[in-house]
Structure 1
Amino acid sequence: MRVRKFALAGVAAAVTATLAVAGSTYAGAATVTPVAPVAAATPPVITAAAPMAHLTQLMNFAKASSNTRVIGSTGFTSTVSYLQSQLTGLGWTTTVQNFTTGGKKAANVIAEWPYGDAAHVIMAGAHSDSVKAGPGINDDGSGVAALLANASAITQSGLRPAKRIRFGFWGAEEQGDIGSSYYVSHLAGGETAKIDAYLNFDMVGNKVENGKAVGWSLYADGQSNGLNTPFKTYFTSKGITVNPSLDTDDRSDHAAFKNAGVKVTGVSSVRSLNELGACYHKACDDLTDVSSDSMVLASNAIASAVWTLAG
C-alpha cells in the first residue's frame, strides 16, 4: 500500500510500455492444459504451508537484492519470473505485461483460469513490488502469496466456474498504482465492462495479538455493491468481527478499476489506515512481520469469495 494517492489521469503519459506478448493483452500467452477436473462445489481448505512457502521465496528474492523487491531491482525481476512460472505450471493462461516508469523497468503478471464465461470476469489482485527500504513481505507479499495459494487450490480442485476468474499481480503500486492503472487504461474496447468485480488484497498478513488478528477490515466500496457479503460470511463463521467500511483513500490498486466503473472491494488485516504496523515501509517488513494464522484467514476468505462470486 502506497503512501499517497495518485490520480489515474496522466498515467498513460507517464508510462512507456511494451507488451511482452504481441497483440491483445492475452494473445499468445503461454497455456498449459490442466488435467481432467473433478468439479468442486466448495473451496478446499488452504493451510498455512502454501502461502508461507511463497512468502519464504519472496523473502529469498529480497535477500539476494539488498533486502528489497522494488521495481528495477533483481528482487522484483525474480518475483515476476516466479509468478509466471508458478501460474503457468498450474495451468493458468499467463501473460507478462512489461512497462517502464520513472526510468525503471516493471511488469504486471496477468493470469486467467481458462474456464467460465469470458464475458463475466471476477478479478482479484495484489501488488508484487515493495518499497526500496524493505522486502515488502506483508506489504504486499502477503496478498501475492494468498492469491498464489488460491490459484493452486483452483487448479487442484478442477474448478469449472460459471464466470471467468482472473488474477492480476501489479508492478509499481508503490509509485502510484502505475501497473494496475496501465492495465486498465490499455484494455481493449469493451473489456472493462466484462469485469463484474475486482477484489484487492493489500497487507493481509499482519501479526496476531492474543491469538486473534490485529483487526480485519473490508473496503467501504464493497458495502453498497454487495461484494463484501461473502467475506462477512466467512469471517463470521470464524467468530471474527470485521470493520465493514475501511476508508482506503483509494491508496491501492482497486482505485484504477473503481475509476473505470468496475465494482470493487478488498480485505486488509488492519482496522484503519492509522494502524498499518511498526514495520510498514521499513526494512523489518520481513517474515517476522507476518502471521501464518493471518495468512490462513486471508487465503481462505479469498477462496470463499472467489468461489461464491464466480459461481
Structure 2
Amino acid sequence: MRVRKLAYAGAAAALTATLALAGAAYASPAPVAPAAVKVALAPPPITAAAPMAHLQKLMDFATASNNTRVIGSTGFTSTVNYIKAQLTALGWVTTVQNFTTGGKAASNVIAEWPYGDANHVIMAGAHSDSVKAGPGINDNGSGVAALLANATAISQAKLVPQKRIRFGFWGAEEQGDIGSSYYVSHLPSGGAAKIDGYLNFDMVGNKIENNTPVGWSLYVEGQSNGLNAPFRTYFASKGITVNPSLDTDDRSDHAAFKNAGVKVTGVSSVRSLSALGACYHKACDNMTDVSQDSMVLASNAIASAVWTLAGA
C-alpha cells in the first residue's frame, strides 16, 4: 500500500508500455471442460504451509537484491518470473504485461483460469512490488502469497465455476498504482463492463503487536455493492468481528477499477490506516513482520469469497 494517492491521469501519463503480443493479456480462452474436471461446491482448506512457502521465496528474492523488491531491481524481476512460473505450471493462462515508469521497467502478471463465462469475470489482485526501503513481505508479499495459494486450490480442485476467475499481480503500485491503472486503461472496449467485481488484497499478513490482536477490515466500497457479504460470512464463521468500512482513500490498486465503474472491495489485516504496523515501508517488513495465523485467515477468506462470487 502506497503512502499517498497520485492522480490517475498523471500516473497514466507517466508511463509508456509495450506488450509482447498485442491484446494477449486480454484473451479469454474458453476450452471445453474435460470430463475429469468437476465442480467443487466449497473450497478446500488452505493450510499455512502454502502461503508461507511463497512468502519465503519472495524474501529470498529480496535478500539477493539488497533487501528490496522495488521495480527495476532483480528482486522484483525474480518475483514476476516466480509468479508466472507458478501459475503456468498450475494450468492458468498467464501473460506478462511489461511497461516502464520513471525510467524503470516493471510488469504485471495476468492469470486466468480458463473455465466459466468470459463475459462475467470475478477478478482479484495484489501488488507484487515493494518500496526501495524494504522487502515488502507484508506489503505486499502477503497478498501475492494468498492469491498464489488460492490459484493452487482452484487448480487442484479442477474447478469449473459459472463465472471466469482472473488474478492480477500489479507492478509499480508503490509509485502510484501504475500497473493496475495501465491494465484498466488498456482493456479492450467493453472489457471493464465484463468484470463483475474486483477484490483487492494489500497487507493481509499483519502480526499481533503489543499484545493487541490483529484487526480485520473490509473496504467501505463493498458495503453498497454486495461484495463484502461473503467475507463477512467467512469471518463470522470464525468468530471474528471486522471493521466493515475501511476508508482506504483509494490508496491501492482497486482505485483504477473503481474509476472505471467496476464494483470493488478488499480485505486488509488492519483496523484503520493509522495502524499499518511498526515495519510499514521499512527494512524490517520481512518474515518476522507477518503472522502465520493471519495468512491462513486471509487465504481462506479469499477462497470463500472468490468461489462464492464466481458461482462455484
Partner of 2:177: 177
Contact 2:26 2:187 in 1 (8 A): no
SS of residue matched to 2:278: coil
Which residue identity lines up with residue 224 of structure 1 in the other structure? S
Partner of 1:214: 214
Distance in 2 (alpha carbons) for counterparts of 1:46 and 1:82: 20
**Paired residues for 1:124-143 under 5 Å:** 124-143=124-143
Deviation at 1:291, TM superposition (A): 0.4
Partner of 2:263: 263
Partner of 2:18: 18
Instruction: Please list the CA deviations of residues 230-270 of structure 1 after superposition, one character each: whole Å capped at 9, or x if unmatched.
Output: 00000000000000000000000000000000000000000
Deviation at 1:6, TM superposition (A): 1.4
Note if 1:294 corresponds to 2:278.
no
Partner of 1:59: 59
Equivalenced residue count is 309
**Paired residues for 1:32-43 under 5 Å:** 36-43=36-43
Deviation at 1:9, TM superposition (A): 1.4
Instruction: Please list the CA deviations of residues 196-247 of structure 1 after superposition, one character each: whole Å capped at 9, or x if unmatched.
Output: 0000000000003699841000000000101100000000000000000000
Partner of 1:92: 92
Q: Taking structure 1 as reference, are residues 276 and 35 closer, same or farther at Cα in structure 2, changes over 3 Å only? A: farther
Distance in 2 (alpha carbons) for counterparts of 1:190 and 1:198: 16
Identify unmatched segments of 5+ residues in structure 1: none
Q: Which runs of 4+ in 1 moved over 4 A?
A: 209-213
Partner of 1:68: 68
Contact 1:129 1:140 in 2 (8 A): yes
Distance in 1 (alpha carbons) for counterparts of 2:248 and 2:232: 18
Partner of 1:305: 305
**TM-score, normalised via structure 1 length:** 0.96
Partner of 2:77: 77
Partner of 1:4: 4
Q: Taking structure 1 as reference, are residues 34 and 180 closer, same or farther at Cα in structure 2, changes over 3 Å only? A: farther
Partner of 1:120: 120
Identify unmatched segments of 5+ residues in structure 2: none
SS of residue matched to 2:61: helix
Distance in 2 (alpha carbons) for counterparts of 1:258 and 1:81: 28
RMSD: 1.8
Partner of 1:236: 236
Contact 1:34 1:155 in 2 (8 A): no
SS of residue matched to 1:37: coil
Higher mean C-alpha displacement, 15-24 vs 240-249: 15-24
Percent sequence identity over aligned pairs: 81
Contact 1:208 1:293 in 2 (8 A): no
Partner of 2:193: 193
Deviation at 1:7, TM superposition (A): 1.9
